[in-house]
Amino acid sequence: IESNILDIVNSFKLLPVEERIIECLDQKDLPNVISGGITFLTSVNPDKMKALIYFMFYTGLRANEITHLKRKDIDLKELTAIVRLPSKSNNERHVFFPPKTSEIVGKYFEIEAEGENAFNVNYAQIRYIIKKLNQYLIGSKKLTPHSLRHGFTQMLAEDEVSVRVAQRLLGHKNMNSTLRYYNP
């Protein structure tokens, strides 16, 4: 490269990139959110709501992934689930969850038969439940379907789980998506 071209390129000033702090729920917030929902959200089965929120938080699944999950893909004894999304590549990934989540989800599965998917919800219903729960969340944190995923990712980072492992669990194609949580 000629030096005059290099000088021109180096003279460009890049616009500053705003670093956003990702505000997310953590484990200690979940019981308060659930208890508020059970108390005030009477239009949704409380066991279903609790199972859905715990499963989304402790697996880091996107709302769209929840709507494609079948019960045959969830192993409550092995504490794993296989996430399959309809696509050309037919990619699958395994996620894991703690025993308490297995217990909560198992209780819900006992009282409601599987319909179209494991939790019998569509994307709009997930958003409705989250919107209603958000009304009972005290503090500055805003609850969204994706904030549950952010909370899971933040938990992985705080527990010093390898970035590569977190990337695989989350299904991120680009590691930079995962690194946002590891370099606050």
Render pLDDT for 117-126 as a digit per residue (tens, 0 to 9). Answer: 999 999 999 9
Q: What is the pLDDT of residue 16?
A: 62
Cα separation, 125 vs 67, in Å, equals: 10
Which residue's entry shows tokens 């527990």?
159
Render pLDDT for 7-45 as a digit per residue (tens, 0 to 9). Answer: 777 777 766 655 555 567 788 888 888 887 888 788 889
Whether pTM exceeds 0.85:
no
